[in-house]
Each structure stands twice: as C-alpha cells, then as structure tokens.
Amino acid sequence: SSSGICHTYTEDGRCVSLLKILLTNHCIFDCAFCVSRKSNDVKRAAFTVEEVVELTMSFYRRNYIEGLFLSSGIFKNADYTMERLVRIAKKLRLENNFNGYIHLKTIPGASQELLTEAGLYADRMSINLEMPTEAGLKLLAPDKSHDDVKKPLSFIKDSIIQFKDEKKIIKSTPKFVPAGQSTQMVIGATPETDMEIMYSANEYYKNYDLKRVYYSGYIPISYDTRMPMIGSQPPLLRENRLYQTDWLMRFYGFDVHEILNVKNPHLDVDIDPKLSWALRNMEQFPIDINTADYKMILRVPGIGVGSANKIVQARKFGKLRSDQLKKIGIAYNRAKYFIRCADSIFQLNTPEAFTVKNLILSESNSKYLKVPQNQLSLF
C-alpha cells in the first residue's frame, strides 16, 4: 500500500489522519504478490530514524496529521528492522513529547524484548497475515509461514492482558498497546473462497483478540502465472462484501457459519450478506417489530445498530407504526418484507425469497441495484 496521509477510525468513531510511511522498500523476502520483493527491479530507498521523526513532528506541528502509521520492508533481519521502528517511536515519545497516535508494524521473527518495548510506545500494533490460508501463503511466499504471524500475535495478546492485570495492582504500570492488534490479508491473489477467507478471519479474531482484520483486494503487479494477470481489475466489490460480513460478525451477532458454509461458500455479488442471509431464512420472517427481541431486530435487512436501539426504546411508549419506523431511520423499503408493525396489512403467505430479492433490486433508489464489479478504466 502507498505512503502518504491516510485515515483511520478510533473506537469512539473519530476519524484520525495518519502519516503513513514505509521505512524502507528493501526486503530480504521474495513474496510474489509484493512490489518490494527482492527479485523486483525497482529503485530501493530507506529513511533514517531521524528523518522519520523530523518529518512526523513537522507534519504534526502543522496539524496535517494526528499520528503515524509506520511499516517497513525487512532488511538484514527481523530484529534489525524492528529495532529501527522501536527507535522511531521511542524518540517521538520521549525526546519530542509526541502525544499523537502511533501504529507500528510487528515484524515477524523479531525478539520478544523488542516487541515488548514497541508495545510501550505504540497505540496499536499490526502484523500482516498476507494470504488467508497457509496453502495460499506457501504458493506465493514459500519462505513464510502463518506460524511466524501467530507467535507474535499470541505474545502481544498475553502481554496486553498481563499489563492490564498489573495496572489493577500498580497504578503506575504503563499502557501497553492500548488500541490493540490488527492484521491484514490480501484477497484475490490466490483462489480461496469467501468462506475460507472469513473462517480464517474468525479464527484470528477469537484466538488473538484482534480489533480489526483488514481485507486488501490484490492489484496485479507481476506477470507471475500463479496470480491474476496485469490488467485484471482488483476485486473491489468482493472486498466490500467481506468487510460487510466482518461487520455482521463483530456488531450484529452473526456467526460466520450462518453467513458462509459449504452450501454457500461465496458471498452474493448483487446484495449484501445480511440481506442474503435473510432471503435464505425466510421462515424466520416476518418478525413483529413490537415484540421481537433486540438480537432478532438486528437481523432485519435495513435496520442498523442505532435504529434497533431506538426501536427497543420507542416501543416502550406504544406500538410502533410504519411512519414512526421511517422517522427512526430504518430503510423501510427493504425492511418492510421482513417485519410487521402496528399498521401492517395482513398477508396470508410470506413472499418467496426470489420475489423479494427482485422487488428490492428493482427499487430505483436501492443501493442493491446491480453495479459493475470493477472500477471502470480511464484508458
């Protein structure tokens, strides 16, 4: 991913501007999917520790940024690279009184001592999973293994718990990676199904208490026959569907097996995964919006977390009608096929899933209208 000023969101919803820097594009590995692979004939460069500190502070003082996202290729070895990342964070915090957000990349294979030191200065740490499956990783990066990722993830997870426990006893105990850990996987470079991708993400969420898993659609940069050819469009719509699935798992109470399974290994291109699940489970609908529990209301297409909370609060004062639901902010043109409210017209039979899908897709202002899977080229 390119350097520059990027944006991320904090847990309380604030948008934070970060200076995103690659310390160096030198790398000892030859991952087929990476533009910085050692066999690629590109110009190499590297920042010094002082240059990154000076650049970060310069941007920070001008209010261009609120933090630093620091990554790197691996040059010489893991410890050599990680030590420089730590030095930058340490210099910023201790010598320059930098109070902004710092996101550091964990370098696979770096010592636990360096990881511990990094965690004392970074708000968040992340490590790239690269490919969703071990088989995919071995295909394109045979020198790497998911075990190299799991070990530091596990160590940092345990250290976060340890520091939190010590903080309860000793108030002066410093914070350790207070914004937690995340990872990223490349999508579309290898032939995994959506089911394999999300099962992998689910495993990492559960085993390592990750805050986020990021899904990055592969942009072809190599003529390697193991991967999509140059000129192929990146899977942007697929990437979006994976993020929507991730959101359902983290905030809507869905189990990954409900959304993706052997019978349904791929996400629907035309509609989002929540609507797709509802159409496959029409026997659970319609629900009575005035009596259904919060968990079931969340599963209705067109109703988000905020609207579901408002519905639960509003119905304490009387039965809700369709006009009130619209004022609450639900997408009524979608939700109406899955709910009953005080003024709903009684229907003897529930419409078939195929019919409901077509009705929703036919809505002129529907976000489910079929769109091209790929961004159009300018050339």
* Residues forming a β-bridge with 193: none
The answer to whether position 305 is within a domain reads yes
Q: Can you spell out the DSSP letters for 201-250?
A: HHHHHHHH--SEEEEEE-------TTSPPTTPPP-HHHHHHHHHHHHHHH
Q: Which long-range contacts (CB under 8 A, 24 or more apart) does 79-84 make?
A: 79/107, 79/109, 79/110, 79/111, 79/114, 81/23, 81/24, 81/107, 81/110, 82/106, 82/107, 82/110, 82/111, 82/114, 82/115, 82/118, 83/114, 84/23, 84/49
Which two three-digit tokens encode residue 379?
């050339």
Nearest to 331 by CA among 351, 306, 354: 306
pLDDT tens digits, one per residue of 72-130: 999 999 999 999 999 999 999 999 999 999 999 999 999 999 999 999 999 999 999 99
Mean of pLDDT over the chain: 93
How far is Cα 16 from Cα 102, in angstroms, rounded to an integer? 11
pLDDT for the residue 375: 52
Give the predicted TM-score (pTM) of the model: 0.91
The answer to whether position 15 is within a domain reads no
Structural domain including 333 reads 273-362
pLDDT tens digits, one per residue of 277-321: 999 999 999 999 999 999 999 999 999 999 999 999 999 999 999
User: What 3-state DSSP class applies to 187?
Assistant: strand
Q: Is the pLDDT of residue 71 over 50?
A: yes
Determine what percent of the chain is predicted with pLDDT higher than 70: 94
pLDDT for the residue 157: 99
Q: Which long-range contacts (CB under 8 A, 24 or more apart) does 254-259 make?
A: 254/299, 256/198, 256/199, 256/201, 256/202, 259/198
Q: Residue 79: count other Cβ atoms within 10 Å of its Cβ.
A: 14
User: What 3-state DSSP class applies to 39?
Assistant: coil
Q: Which residue has the higher pLDDT, 378 or 106?
A: 106
How far is Cα 196 from Cα 265, in angstroms, rounded to an integer? 8
pLDDT tens digits, one per residue of 241-253: 999 999 999 999 9
The answer to whether position 246 is within a domain reads no
Is 62 within 8 Å of 55 (Cβ atoms)?
A: no
pLDDT for the residue 7: 84
Q: Is the pLDDT of residue 334 over 90?
A: yes
Place of tokens 């996101």: 103
Q: Is the pLDDT of residue 338 over 90?
A: yes
pLDDT for the residue 376: 46
pLDDT for the residue 364: 52
* Residues forming a β-bridge with 101: 67
Mark 332-342 as b/e (b = at least 16 C-beta within 10 Å).
bebbbbbbbbe
Q: Sorting pLDDT into bands at 50, 70 and 90, what band is 223? A: confident
Q: Is the pLDDT of residue 379 over 50?
A: no
The answer to whether position 233 is within a domain reads no
pLDDT for the residue 222: 85
The answer to whether position 339 is within a domain reads yes
pLDDT for the residue 363: 80
The answer to whether position 329 is within a domain reads yes
Overall average pLDDT of the 228-257 stretch: 95
pLDDT for the residue 11: 63
How many structural domains does the chain have?
Answer: 1
The answer to whether position 262 is within a domain reads no
Q: Is the pLDDT of residue 369 over 80?
A: no
The answer to whether position 245 is within a domain reads no
